[in-house]
Amino acid sequence: MAPEVGSKSGAIDWRISDSPVPYETAVADMERRVAAIRDGQAPELVWLLEHPPLYTAGTSARAEDLLDPASLPVYRSGRGGQYTYHGPGQRIAYVMLDLDRFGHDVRCHVWRLEEWVIAALARFNVKGERRDGRIGVWIATPGGGENKIAAIGVRVRRWVSYHGVALNVDPDLDHFRGIVPCGIAPEATGYGVTSLARLGITASMAEVDIALRATFDDAFAAAAACRA
């Protein structure tokens, strides 16, 4: 496992891994932490990391949406959603929270994750938006199109959440060509993927982490509205 630094704020731990973490290692670590949170043996956790280049298939993934199965490793995932790409330059935020504190509302949890990303993007003067029927965070393009900048997929076990957010900072966007990202075919819909770098924002991963940390508490505050 990659070396990491951790910090604690209130009841939630924060962990940052400084080199790519293998997907199976990350999932195993999340599973252990979720069990410990549920048993009252560990605090909740937000884990910021990157993965080596790979594809993951969520519980709704369709075989025909894996366009180039030989190009990268493919991992079955227990999270919701379809196929997505993970790799260097993409900030993964695995969010392990006890949803007993948030009304046992998974849709609201997804809304809060979107709200968090939207607020973090605003720190870079980027307007992230929701779209009805399409989970994640989207960027409107000057020509009237829309590109996805952050994917969201969650799993809940005994009312503890895990998995979370994949925010494109500066990944190799060509890797998305090997899948139909989140089941949305660019050729049929006009929807694509983008990144902060593609938008001309030269933010470092450390700067993105600062923005995520600074906006988390408001998005997940007990008083925050949820319009899921």
Catalytic residue IDs: 182
3-class DSSP assignment, residue 62: coil
Contact (CB, 8 A) for 3 and 17? yes
Place of tokens 């496992």: 1
